[in-house]
Amino acid sequence: MTLDTSLYRATPSIELSSYDPRDTSLFEDGKKAGKRAHKDLNARLELLQEQLYAQGRHRLLIVLQATDTGGKDGTIRRVFEGVNPQGVDVASFKKPTPEELAHDYLWRVHKHVPGNGRITIFNRSHYEDVLVVRVHDLVPEERWSKRYGHIRDFEQMLVDEGITILKFFLHISKQEQKERLEARLENPDKHWKFSLGDLDERKRWDDYQQAFEAMINETSTPDAPWYVVPADRKWYRDLVVSSTIVRTLESLGVDWPEPESDYAGVEVI
């Protein structure tokens, strides 16, 4: 069973405050049933991804954005558990290297877009250049504000060249972020995921929410839509993301390719 996630597809002029990060309205049977449903979805995604890879015709780009502790890594682990790693790539965009800074901000992104038969997941993305750059005032507003148009044009070019794009904003509450940061502090095995810089970024919560809202409103298009995913409850987040991806792959008509020859009567000796 796949959920109809169109409820979370961004409409013009959204306000993030109107989206409940704890919403589970598309699946009311609870966490245990939700995890069972996700297991079935995962099996379906495994098959569809294998067919996408074998067919070699379509390309899927998935963009994940969220505030700190928003669940990007967990989403990748759970949604893509068991898929064929030969056909799935993850690109993580951290602080630009000196070489990357010597080029335009889209240079490091373009070389990671998927080829035929592949799924690529952006863990953070080109959108950092209208998020961190904006919140920390790293470049003048006159400069970063033009990037919304650049990004729309860039993504439309990718679509025109045959790439299907899905963008997920994993929407968590400020209280949920607090609890996740505290959980990292309390568990020594999670200390590697914690940084004092996370607390500095948390102080800018409202600024980031404004930047995320502008990002979605400026760059959600019919061909490259944003989905605002309620992400306080991880099991529900996974259901929403998996359902959207499965429905998208099904709509592309991925299937096993036709054999090159009629192999009737062929014997392996």
Task: Please answer whether residues 229 and 171 qualify as being in contact, where contact means their C-beta atoms are separated by less than 8 angstroms.
Answer: yes
- Whole-number Å distance between alpha carbons of 229 and 36: 20
CB 168 within 8 Å of CB 65: yes
**CB atoms inside a 10 Å sphere around CB 128:** 17
Give pLDDT tens digits for 71-127: 999 999 999 998 999 999 999 998 888 999 999 999 999 999 999 999 999 999 999
CB atoms within 10 A of CB 39: 13
d(CA 207, CA 229): 20
Asked if 235 and 18 count as a contact pair (C-beta separation under 8 A), the reply is: no
- The residue ranges of every structural domain in the chain are 5-251
Q: Could you tell me the pTM of the whole model? A: 0.95
> What's the CATH architecture for 5-251?
3-Layer(aba) Sandwich (3.40)
Distance from chain centroid for Cα 137: 25
Q: Give backbone dihedrals phi and psi of 89, rounded to 5 degrees, phi first.
A: -120, 145
Confidence of residue 265 (pLDDT cuts 50, 70, 90): confident
